[in-house]
Copies of this chain bind each other. A is one copy, B any other.
Amino acid sequence: MLSLEQLKEITRQSESKIVLLVIDGLGGLPQPDTGKTELETARTPNLDRLASKGICGLTDPVSPGITPGSAPGHLALFGYDPIKYNVGRGILEALGIDFDIEKGDVAARGNFCTIDKKGLVTDRRAGRISTEENAKLCKKLSKIKLDGAGLFVVPVKEHRFLLVFRGEGLSGDASDSDPQQVGVAPLSVVANSPKGKRTARLANDFAIKARAALADSHPANMVLLRGFSQHPNLPAMQDIFKFNPAAIAAYPMYRGLAKLVGMKVLSTGSTIEEEFDTLAEHYAEHDFFFIHVKKTDSAGEDGAFDAKVRAIEEVDKLLPRITKLNPDVLIVTGDHSTPAMLKGHSWHPVPIVLYSEWCRADRAKEFGETACASGGLGRFPALEVMPLAMANALKLTKFGA
A residues sitting closer than 8 Å to B (CB atoms) are 1-2, 6, 10, 29-30, 37, 58, 62-72, 82-83, 86-89, 92, 227, 339, 341-342, 345-348, 358, 360-363, 369-370, 373-380, 384, 386-392, 396-401
Contact = CB atoms under 8 A, between A and B. Distances in A.
A163 to B, nearest CB: 15
A160 B339 CA distance: 53
B87 A401 contact: yes
A29 B396 contact: no
Given A92-B401, A399-B62, A346 B369 contact: no
A12 to B, nearest CB: 12
Given A63-B384, A379-B380, A387-B65, A398 B345 contact: yes
Given A67-B397, A87-B401, A387-B65, A358 B374 contact: no
B358 A391 contact: no
A241 to B, nearest CB: 12
Given A71-B400, A87-B401, A380-B379, A358 B65 contact: no
Given A92-B401, A374-B374, 11 more contacts: A6-B83, A30-B360, A62-B399, A63-B387, A64-B387, A65-B390, A65-B391, A65-B396, A66-B399, A69-B400, A82-B400
Contacts of A398: 67-69, 345
B83 A2 contact: yes
Contacts of A369: 360
A92 B400 CA distance: 11
Contacts of A392: 65
Per assembly, the copies of the chain total 2
Contacts of A86: 400
A228 B375 CA distance: 42
Contacts of A341: 358
Contact of A342 (B65, B69, B358, B390): B358
Q: Which of A88, A346, A360, A398 has the most CB of B within 10 A?
A: A360
Contacts of A339: 358
Contacts of A388: 64-65, 347
A378 to B, nearest CB: 4
A331 to B, nearest CB: 12
Contacts of A1: 63, 83
Given A62-B2, A83-B2, A68 B400 contact: yes
B378 A58 contact: yes
Contacts of A72: 399-400
Contacts of A396: 65-67, 347
Contacts of A380: 64, 379
Nearest to A90: B401
A89 B390 CA distance: 25
Contacts of A63: 1-2, 384, 387
9 contacts: A1-B83, A2-B63, A65-B389, A65-B391, A66-B399, A67-B398, A341-B358, A346-B358, A373-B378
Contacts of A386: 65
A326 to B, nearest CB: 17
A242 B29 CA distance: 27
A8 to B, nearest CB: 13
Contacts of A30: 360-361
A64 B376 CA distance: 12
